Protein backbone atom coordinates (compact mmCIF):
# COMPACT_ATOMS: atom_id res chain seq x y z
CA UNK A 1 0.00 0.00 0.00
CA UNK A 2 1.13 3.57 -0.61
CA UNK A 3 2.99 5.60 1.96
CA UNK A 4 3.48 9.33 2.39
CA UNK A 5 7.07 10.24 1.55
CA UNK A 6 8.61 13.41 3.04
CA UNK A 7 9.75 16.18 0.71
CA UNK A 8 13.50 16.92 0.47
CA UNK A 9 14.74 19.96 2.34
CA UNK A 10 15.40 23.20 0.44
CA UNK A 11 18.67 25.06 1.12
CA UNK A 12 20.02 28.40 -0.06
CA UNK A 13 23.84 28.61 -0.25
CA UNK A 14 25.52 32.02 -0.29
CA UNK A 15 29.28 32.09 -0.97
CA UNK A 16 31.38 34.37 -3.18
CA UNK A 17 33.99 31.61 -3.75
CA UNK A 18 32.73 29.81 -6.86
CA UNK A 19 34.79 26.66 -6.17
CA UNK A 20 33.51 26.38 -2.61
CA UNK A 21 29.97 27.15 -3.82
CA UNK A 22 30.13 24.41 -6.46
CA UNK A 23 31.60 21.98 -3.93
CA UNK A 24 28.74 22.64 -1.49
CA UNK A 25 26.14 22.27 -4.25
CA UNK A 26 27.68 18.93 -5.22
CA UNK A 27 27.82 17.69 -1.61
CA UNK A 28 24.22 18.70 -0.85
CA UNK A 29 22.88 17.47 -4.17
CA UNK A 30 24.28 13.98 -3.57
CA UNK A 31 22.42 13.81 -0.25
CA UNK A 32 18.97 14.64 -1.66
CA UNK A 33 18.89 18.37 -0.84
CA UNK A 34 17.08 20.83 -3.10
CA UNK A 35 19.93 23.33 -3.55
CA UNK A 36 19.94 26.92 -4.76
CA UNK A 37 23.24 28.82 -4.72
CA UNK A 38 24.10 32.52 -5.06
CA UNK A 39 27.31 34.53 -4.92
CA UNK A 40 26.46 37.20 -2.38
CA UNK A 41 24.24 38.49 0.41
CA UNK A 42 22.09 40.88 -1.64
CA UNK A 43 21.21 38.14 -4.10
CA UNK A 44 20.55 35.77 -1.20
CA UNK A 45 17.91 38.14 0.23
CA UNK A 46 16.06 38.26 -3.10
CA UNK A 47 16.28 34.51 -3.65
CA UNK A 48 15.11 33.71 -0.13
CA UNK A 49 11.82 35.48 -0.85
CA UNK A 50 11.43 33.45 -4.05
CA UNK A 51 12.24 29.92 -2.93
CA UNK A 52 11.43 30.02 0.81
CA UNK A 53 14.37 27.84 1.95
CA UNK A 54 14.33 25.59 5.00
CA UNK A 55 17.86 26.73 5.90
CA UNK A 56 20.43 29.26 4.67
CA UNK A 57 24.12 28.30 4.55
CA UNK A 58 26.31 31.41 4.17
CA UNK A 59 29.98 32.31 4.17
CA UNK A 60 30.83 35.00 6.73
CA UNK A 61 33.29 37.06 4.70
CA UNK A 62 31.76 38.15 1.40
CA UNK A 63 32.16 41.43 -0.54
CA UNK A 64 29.29 43.84 -0.16
CA UNK A 65 27.07 42.18 2.43
CA UNK A 66 28.77 39.87 4.91
CA UNK A 67 27.26 36.72 6.31
CA UNK A 68 26.59 38.46 9.63
CA UNK A 69 24.81 41.29 7.79
CA UNK A 70 22.81 38.75 5.79
CA UNK A 71 21.82 37.09 9.05
CA UNK A 72 20.64 40.43 10.44
CA UNK A 73 18.66 41.20 7.27
CA UNK A 74 16.94 37.82 7.38
CA UNK A 75 16.17 38.20 11.08
CA UNK A 76 14.55 41.60 10.49
CA UNK A 77 12.97 40.79 7.16
CA UNK A 78 9.38 40.03 6.29
CA UNK A 79 7.50 37.41 8.28
CA UNK A 80 7.86 34.76 5.57
CA UNK A 81 11.69 34.62 5.82
CA UNK A 82 12.63 36.06 9.21
CA UNK A 83 12.45 32.67 10.93
CA UNK A 84 14.68 30.82 8.42
CA UNK A 85 17.64 29.30 10.31
CA UNK A 86 21.07 30.48 9.18
CA UNK A 87 24.26 28.42 9.44
CA UNK A 88 27.47 30.42 8.95
CA UNK A 89 30.81 29.09 7.67
CA UNK A 90 34.18 30.83 7.52
CA UNK A 91 37.86 30.04 7.04
CA UNK A 92 38.67 33.01 9.25
CA UNK A 93 36.39 32.09 12.11
CA UNK A 94 37.36 32.59 15.68
CA UNK A 95 35.56 32.25 18.99
CA UNK A 96 34.47 35.93 19.27
CA UNK A 97 32.99 35.77 15.75
CA UNK A 98 31.15 32.54 16.56
CA UNK A 99 29.79 34.01 19.78
CA UNK A 100 28.62 37.15 17.98
CA UNK A 101 26.94 35.06 15.27
CA UNK A 102 25.07 32.97 17.82
CA UNK A 103 24.05 36.07 19.77
CA UNK A 104 22.61 37.57 16.59
CA UNK A 105 20.48 34.49 16.05
CA UNK A 106 22.56 32.14 13.89
CA UNK A 107 21.54 28.51 14.21
CA UNK A 108 25.17 27.36 14.19
CA UNK A 109 28.70 28.36 13.17
CA UNK A 110 31.03 25.99 11.29
CA UNK A 111 34.72 26.74 10.68
CA UNK A 112 36.52 25.77 7.46
CA UNK A 113 37.85 23.25 6.72
CA UNK A 114 34.76 21.45 7.95
CA UNK A 115 33.77 17.82 8.28
CA UNK A 116 31.13 17.22 5.55
CA UNK A 117 29.18 14.78 7.72
CA UNK A 118 29.04 17.23 10.61
CA UNK A 119 27.94 20.04 8.31
CA UNK A 120 25.18 17.88 6.82
CA UNK A 121 24.00 16.90 10.30
CA UNK A 122 23.83 20.54 11.46
CA UNK A 123 21.94 21.56 8.31
CA UNK A 124 19.51 18.66 8.59
CA UNK A 125 18.68 19.51 12.20
CA UNK A 126 18.18 23.19 11.35
CA UNK A 127 15.95 22.45 8.34
CA UNK A 128 13.95 19.84 10.21
CA UNK A 129 13.19 22.21 13.10
CA UNK A 130 12.24 24.96 10.67
CA UNK A 131 9.94 22.64 8.70
CA UNK A 132 8.23 21.52 11.92
CA UNK A 133 7.75 25.13 12.99
CA UNK A 134 6.18 26.03 9.65
CA UNK A 135 3.90 23.01 9.84
CA UNK A 136 2.61 24.14 13.23
CA UNK A 137 1.91 27.61 11.83
CA UNK A 138 0.10 26.14 8.83
CA UNK A 139 -1.96 23.87 11.05
CA UNK A 140 -3.14 26.79 13.13
CA UNK A 141 -3.93 28.84 10.05
CA UNK A 142 -5.74 25.97 8.31
CA UNK A 143 -7.78 25.31 11.43
CA UNK A 144 -9.43 28.69 11.04
CA UNK A 145 -10.22 28.09 7.36
CA UNK A 146 -11.51 24.53 7.42
CA UNK A 147 -14.94 24.26 5.83
CA UNK A 148 -17.59 23.58 8.45
CA UNK A 149 -15.24 23.69 11.43
CA UNK A 150 -16.55 27.07 12.55
CA UNK A 151 -19.94 25.43 13.11
CA UNK A 152 -18.65 23.73 16.22
CA UNK A 153 -15.50 25.63 17.13
CA UNK A 154 -16.76 29.20 16.94
CA UNK A 155 -16.91 30.55 20.47
CA UNK A 156 -14.98 32.18 23.29
CA UNK A 157 -15.76 29.95 26.27
CA UNK A 158 -12.90 28.16 27.99
CA UNK A 159 -14.17 24.74 26.84
CA UNK A 160 -14.28 25.62 23.15
CA UNK A 161 -10.91 27.39 23.23
CA UNK A 162 -9.39 24.30 24.81
CA UNK A 163 -11.03 22.15 22.12
CA UNK A 164 -9.46 24.23 19.35
CA UNK A 165 -6.03 23.91 20.96
CA UNK A 166 -6.44 20.16 21.42
CA UNK A 167 -7.34 19.68 17.76
CA UNK A 168 -4.29 21.63 16.62
CA UNK A 169 -2.01 19.68 18.97
CA UNK A 170 -3.42 16.31 17.89
CA UNK A 171 -3.62 17.07 14.18
CA UNK A 172 -0.15 15.78 13.32
CA UNK A 173 -0.34 12.84 15.72
CA UNK A 174 -1.00 9.23 14.76
CA UNK A 175 -2.60 8.42 18.13
CA UNK A 176 -6.15 7.01 18.06
CA UNK A 177 -8.66 9.61 19.25
CA UNK A 178 -12.10 9.00 20.73
CA UNK A 179 -14.66 11.79 20.56
CA UNK A 180 -17.36 11.87 23.21
CA UNK A 181 -20.33 14.16 22.94
CA UNK A 182 -24.05 14.43 22.49
CA UNK A 183 -25.78 14.34 19.12
CA UNK A 184 -25.23 17.56 17.22
CA UNK A 185 -22.02 18.64 18.96
CA UNK A 186 -20.04 18.08 15.75
CA UNK A 187 -18.06 14.91 16.29
CA UNK A 188 -17.63 14.18 12.58
CA UNK A 189 -16.48 17.73 11.88
CA UNK A 190 -13.84 17.41 14.60
CA UNK A 191 -12.76 14.07 13.11
CA UNK A 192 -12.43 15.71 9.70
CA UNK A 193 -10.41 18.55 11.24
CA UNK A 194 -8.00 16.05 12.81
CA UNK A 195 -7.62 14.46 9.38
CA UNK A 196 -7.21 17.73 7.48
CA UNK A 197 -4.64 19.09 9.91
CA UNK A 198 -2.39 16.04 9.78
CA UNK A 199 0.10 14.41 7.41
CA UNK A 200 -2.69 12.15 6.08
CA UNK A 201 -4.71 15.07 4.72
CA UNK A 202 -3.82 14.00 1.18
CA UNK A 203 -5.37 10.58 1.80
CA UNK A 204 -9.04 9.66 2.10
CA UNK A 205 -11.30 10.47 5.04
CA UNK A 206 -13.69 7.52 5.37
CA UNK A 207 -16.59 7.74 7.80
CA UNK A 208 -18.52 4.66 8.88
CA UNK A 209 -21.69 5.11 10.95
CA UNK A 210 -21.79 1.91 12.97
CA UNK A 211 -25.41 2.56 14.00
CA UNK A 212 -26.62 2.72 10.41
CA UNK A 213 -25.47 -0.76 9.36
CA UNK A 214 -27.30 -3.95 10.20
CA UNK A 215 -25.21 -6.51 12.11
CA UNK A 216 -25.49 -9.09 9.32
CA UNK A 217 -23.96 -6.68 6.79
CA UNK A 218 -21.47 -5.00 9.09
CA UNK A 219 -18.54 -7.36 8.52
CA UNK A 220 -18.80 -7.22 4.72
CA UNK A 221 -19.16 -3.45 4.80
CA UNK A 222 -16.01 -3.05 6.88
CA UNK A 223 -13.75 -5.82 5.53
CA UNK A 224 -15.08 -6.24 2.00
CA UNK A 225 -15.79 -9.58 0.37
CA UNK A 226 -12.60 -9.96 -1.64
CA UNK A 227 -14.51 -9.69 -4.93
CA UNK A 228 -17.02 -6.89 -5.55
CA UNK A 229 -17.09 -5.07 -2.21
CA UNK A 230 -13.80 -3.31 -1.44
CA UNK A 231 -14.72 -2.50 2.13
CA UNK A 232 -14.25 0.48 4.42
CA UNK A 233 -10.83 -0.59 5.71
CA UNK A 234 -9.28 -0.82 2.26
CA UNK A 235 -10.84 2.49 1.26
CA UNK A 236 -9.24 4.26 4.23
CA UNK A 237 -5.66 3.25 3.36
CA UNK A 238 -3.17 6.16 3.81
CA UNK A 239 -5.97 8.25 5.33
CA UNK A 240 -8.26 8.38 8.36
CA UNK A 241 -10.96 5.90 9.36
CA UNK A 242 -13.74 7.54 11.38
CA UNK A 243 -15.92 5.05 13.29
CA UNK A 244 -19.01 6.96 14.36
CA UNK A 245 -21.34 5.50 17.02
CA UNK A 246 -18.70 2.87 17.77
CA UNK A 247 -20.81 1.45 20.61
CA UNK A 248 -23.01 -0.13 17.94
CA UNK A 249 -20.19 -2.19 16.45
CA UNK A 250 -21.40 -5.84 16.60
CA UNK A 251 -19.63 -7.99 19.16
CA UNK A 252 -18.57 -10.56 16.55
CA UNK A 253 -16.70 -7.84 14.61
CA UNK A 254 -14.97 -6.19 17.56
CA UNK A 255 -12.20 -8.81 17.90
CA UNK A 256 -11.37 -8.55 14.19
CA UNK A 257 -11.35 -4.77 14.33
CA UNK A 258 -8.98 -4.88 17.31
CA UNK A 259 -6.60 -7.08 15.33
CA UNK A 260 -6.68 -4.73 12.35
CA UNK A 261 -5.82 -1.74 14.54
CA UNK A 262 -2.94 -3.66 16.11
CA UNK A 263 -1.49 -5.33 12.98
CA UNK A 264 -2.66 -3.02 10.16
CA UNK A 265 -3.69 -6.15 8.31
CA UNK A 266 -7.04 -7.80 7.56
CA UNK A 267 -8.56 -10.53 5.43
CA UNK A 268 -11.71 -9.81 3.39
CA UNK A 269 -14.76 -11.97 3.95
CA UNK A 270 -14.49 -15.16 1.89
CA UNK A 271 -10.82 -14.58 1.07
CA UNK A 272 -7.62 -16.19 2.31
CA UNK A 273 -5.26 -13.42 1.24
CA UNK A 274 -4.50 -10.78 3.90
CA UNK A 275 -4.33 -7.11 2.92
CA UNK A 276 -2.01 -4.53 4.45
CA UNK A 277 -3.60 -1.23 5.35
CA UNK A 278 -2.28 1.97 6.93
CA UNK A 279 -4.75 4.39 8.49
CA UNK A 280 -5.36 6.53 11.55
CA UNK A 281 -8.47 5.64 13.52
CA UNK A 282 -10.79 8.20 15.09
CA UNK A 283 -13.92 6.98 16.84
CA UNK A 284 -16.96 8.67 18.31
CA UNK A 285 -19.74 7.86 20.73
CA UNK A 286 -22.53 9.83 22.40
CA UNK A 287 -22.39 7.74 25.55
CA UNK A 288 -19.79 6.39 27.95
CA UNK A 289 -18.53 3.06 26.65
CA UNK A 290 -17.60 1.93 30.16
CA UNK A 291 -21.25 0.95 30.65
CA UNK A 292 -21.19 -1.22 27.55
CA UNK A 293 -17.93 -2.79 28.71
CA UNK A 294 -19.41 -3.50 32.15
CA UNK A 295 -22.42 -5.12 30.48
CA UNK A 296 -20.22 -7.30 28.28
CA UNK A 297 -21.39 -5.61 25.09
CA UNK A 298 -18.10 -3.95 24.21
CA UNK A 299 -14.57 -5.35 24.46
CA UNK A 300 -12.39 -3.68 27.07
CA UNK A 301 -9.19 -4.23 25.04
CA UNK A 302 -10.77 -2.58 21.99
CA UNK A 303 -11.84 0.38 24.11
CA UNK A 304 -8.28 0.77 25.38
CA UNK A 305 -7.04 0.75 21.79
CA UNK A 306 -9.51 3.41 20.68
CA UNK A 307 -9.39 5.83 23.61
CA UNK A 308 -5.66 6.54 23.61
CA UNK A 309 -6.73 10.20 23.58
CA UNK A 310 -10.25 11.31 24.53
CA UNK A 311 -11.83 14.61 23.53
CA UNK A 312 -15.08 15.60 25.22
CA UNK A 313 -17.15 17.90 23.01
CA UNK A 314 -19.11 20.33 25.18
CA UNK A 315 -22.89 20.50 24.89
CA UNK A 316 -24.27 23.85 23.80
CA UNK A 317 -26.13 24.32 27.10
CA UNK A 318 -22.76 24.13 28.87
CA UNK A 319 -21.43 27.09 26.91
CA UNK A 320 -24.38 29.45 26.85
CA UNK A 321 -22.11 32.46 26.49
CA UNK A 322 -21.48 31.31 22.91
CA UNK A 323 -25.13 30.89 21.90
CA UNK A 324 -25.66 34.48 20.74
CA UNK A 325 -22.36 34.49 18.85
CA UNK A 326 -23.12 31.19 17.13
CA UNK A 327 -26.67 32.22 16.26
CA UNK A 328 -25.50 35.48 14.72
CA UNK A 329 -22.88 33.62 12.70
CA UNK A 330 -25.38 31.10 11.34
CA UNK A 331 -27.95 33.82 10.73
CA UNK A 332 -25.52 35.82 8.58
CA UNK A 333 -24.40 32.66 6.84
CA UNK A 334 -27.92 31.62 5.82
CA UNK A 335 -28.93 35.18 4.97
CA UNK A 336 -26.08 35.24 2.44
CA UNK A 337 -27.15 31.87 1.04
CA UNK A 338 -30.77 32.99 0.58
CA UNK A 339 -29.68 36.46 -0.55
CA UNK A 340 -31.59 38.53 2.01
CA UNK A 341 -30.65 40.94 4.76
CA UNK A 342 -30.32 39.07 8.05
CA UNK A 343 -33.32 39.73 10.33
CA UNK A 344 -32.70 41.84 13.42
CA UNK A 345 -32.35 39.86 16.65
CA UNK A 346 -34.78 41.36 19.16
CA UNK A 347 -34.70 41.15 22.94
CA UNK A 348 -37.42 38.48 22.77
CA UNK A 349 -35.33 36.51 20.26
CA UNK A 350 -32.32 36.66 22.55
CA UNK A 351 -34.41 35.56 25.52
CA UNK A 352 -35.73 32.59 23.54
CA UNK A 353 -32.20 31.60 22.55
CA UNK A 354 -30.87 31.72 26.10
CA UNK A 355 -33.83 30.01 27.75
CA UNK A 356 -33.87 26.99 25.42
CA UNK A 357 -32.01 23.86 26.54
CA UNK A 358 -30.71 22.95 23.04
CA UNK A 359 -30.95 19.14 23.14
CA UNK A 360 -29.81 19.08 19.50
CA UNK A 361 -26.82 21.29 20.32
CA UNK A 362 -25.07 23.32 17.60
CA UNK A 363 -26.81 21.42 14.81
CA UNK A 364 -30.19 22.43 16.22
CA UNK A 365 -29.09 26.05 16.58
CA UNK A 366 -27.98 26.11 12.97
CA UNK A 367 -31.37 24.77 11.86
CA UNK A 368 -33.15 27.39 13.97
CA UNK A 369 -31.13 30.15 12.33
CA UNK A 370 -31.95 28.82 8.88
CA UNK A 371 -35.69 28.62 9.65
CA UNK A 372 -35.58 32.16 11.01
CA UNK A 373 -34.06 33.38 7.73
CA UNK A 374 -36.61 31.44 5.65
CA UNK A 375 -39.43 32.99 7.66
CA UNK A 376 -37.88 36.44 7.24
CA UNK A 377 -38.05 36.01 3.48
CA UNK A 378 -41.82 35.97 3.88
CA UNK A 379 -41.75 38.98 6.21
CA UNK A 380 -42.58 37.16 9.41
CA UNK A 381 -41.26 34.77 12.07
CA UNK A 382 -39.34 34.84 15.33
CA UNK A 383 -36.68 32.78 17.08
CA UNK A 384 -39.29 31.33 19.44
CA UNK A 385 -41.32 30.03 16.50
CA UNK A 386 -38.23 28.55 14.86
CA UNK A 387 -37.29 26.79 18.10
CA UNK A 388 -40.84 25.44 18.54
CA UNK A 389 -40.58 23.62 15.22
CA UNK A 390 -37.39 21.94 16.43
CA UNK A 391 -39.03 20.98 19.72
CA UNK A 392 -41.85 19.33 17.77
CA UNK A 393 -39.26 17.25 15.90
CA UNK A 394 -36.90 16.84 18.83
CA UNK A 395 -35.44 13.41 19.29
CA UNK A 396 -36.34 12.02 15.86
CA UNK A 397 -33.30 9.94 14.92
CA UNK A 398 -31.80 9.97 11.46
CA UNK A 399 -31.34 6.18 11.15
CA UNK A 400 -33.66 3.20 11.42
CA UNK A 401 -31.66 1.70 14.26
CA UNK A 402 -31.72 5.01 16.09
CA UNK A 403 -35.48 5.28 15.59
CA UNK A 404 -36.02 1.79 17.01
CA UNK A 405 -33.83 2.58 20.01
CA UNK A 406 -35.70 5.83 20.60
CA UNK A 407 -39.07 4.03 20.41
CA UNK A 408 -37.91 1.31 22.83
CA UNK A 409 -36.57 3.93 25.22
CA UNK A 410 -39.93 5.71 25.26
CA UNK A 411 -41.90 2.49 25.80
CA UNK A 412 -39.67 1.36 28.65
CA UNK A 413 -39.78 4.76 30.32
CA UNK A 414 -43.57 4.88 30.04
CA UNK A 415 -43.91 1.39 31.50
CA UNK A 416 -41.56 2.19 34.38
CA UNK A 417 -43.58 5.29 35.21
CA UNK A 418 -46.91 3.44 34.91
CA UNK A 419 -45.81 0.64 37.25
CA UNK A 420 -43.96 2.88 39.71
CA UNK A 421 -40.61 1.26 38.99
CA UNK A 422 -41.70 -2.34 39.74
CA UNK A 423 -39.47 -4.03 37.18
CA UNK A 424 -41.20 -7.42 37.14
CA UNK A 425 -44.45 -5.67 36.25
CA UNK A 426 -42.65 -3.54 33.65
CA UNK A 427 -41.14 -6.63 31.99
CA UNK A 428 -44.50 -8.39 31.97
CA UNK A 429 -46.26 -5.35 30.50
CA UNK A 430 -43.66 -5.13 27.73
CA UNK A 431 -43.77 -8.85 27.02
CA UNK A 432 -40.06 -9.46 27.61
CA UNK A 433 -38.01 -11.22 30.24
CA UNK A 434 -36.56 -9.40 33.24
CA UNK A 435 -32.99 -10.05 32.07
CA UNK A 436 -33.75 -8.68 28.60
CA UNK A 437 -35.31 -5.62 30.20
CA UNK A 438 -32.21 -5.00 32.31
CA UNK A 439 -29.97 -5.35 29.26
CA UNK A 440 -32.05 -2.86 27.29
CA UNK A 441 -32.07 -0.38 30.18
CA UNK A 442 -28.25 -0.44 30.24
CA UNK A 443 -27.88 -0.31 26.46
CA UNK A 444 -30.43 2.46 25.95
CA UNK A 445 -29.23 4.52 28.91
CA UNK A 446 -32.64 4.60 30.62
CA UNK A 447 -32.41 6.29 34.02
CA UNK A 448 -35.06 4.73 36.28
CA UNK A 449 -34.49 7.19 39.12
CA UNK A 450 -35.20 10.20 36.91
CA UNK A 451 -38.41 8.63 35.56
CA UNK A 452 -40.11 7.83 38.86
CA UNK A 453 -38.89 10.77 40.94
**pLDDT tens track for 401-440:** 666 777 778 788 878 877 778 888 888 777 787 777 887 8
Residues facing residue 244 across a β-bridge: 209
Give 195: exposed, middle or buried? Use CB within 10 Å, 0-12, 13-18, 19+: buried
> pTM of the full predicted structure?
0.56
Q: What is the model's pLDDT at position 137?
A: 64
Structural domains present in the chain: 10-138 (3.40.50.2300), 154-312 (3.40.50.300), 316-392 (1.10.8.60), 400-452 (1.10.10)
User: Using an 8 Å Cβ cutoff, are 231 and 268 in contact?
Assistant: yes
* Beta pairing, strands 10-14 & 34-38: parallel
Q: Which residues of the chain have pLDDT under 50?
A: 1-6, 143, 146-148, 394-396
Residues in the chain: 453
Amino acid sequence: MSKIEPHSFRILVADDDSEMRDSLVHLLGRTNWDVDAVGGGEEAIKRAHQIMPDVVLSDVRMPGMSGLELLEKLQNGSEDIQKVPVVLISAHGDIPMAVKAMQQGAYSFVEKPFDPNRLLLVLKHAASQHRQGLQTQRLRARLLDLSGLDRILLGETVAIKAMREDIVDLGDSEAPVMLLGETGTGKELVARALHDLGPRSGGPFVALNCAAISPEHFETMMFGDGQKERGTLASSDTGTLFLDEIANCPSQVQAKLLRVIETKEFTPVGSSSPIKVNFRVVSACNEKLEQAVAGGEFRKDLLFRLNNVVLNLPALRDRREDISLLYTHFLQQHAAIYEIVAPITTADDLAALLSHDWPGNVRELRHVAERRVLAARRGRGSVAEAITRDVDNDGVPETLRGAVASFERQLIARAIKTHDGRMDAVAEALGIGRRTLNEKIVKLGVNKANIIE
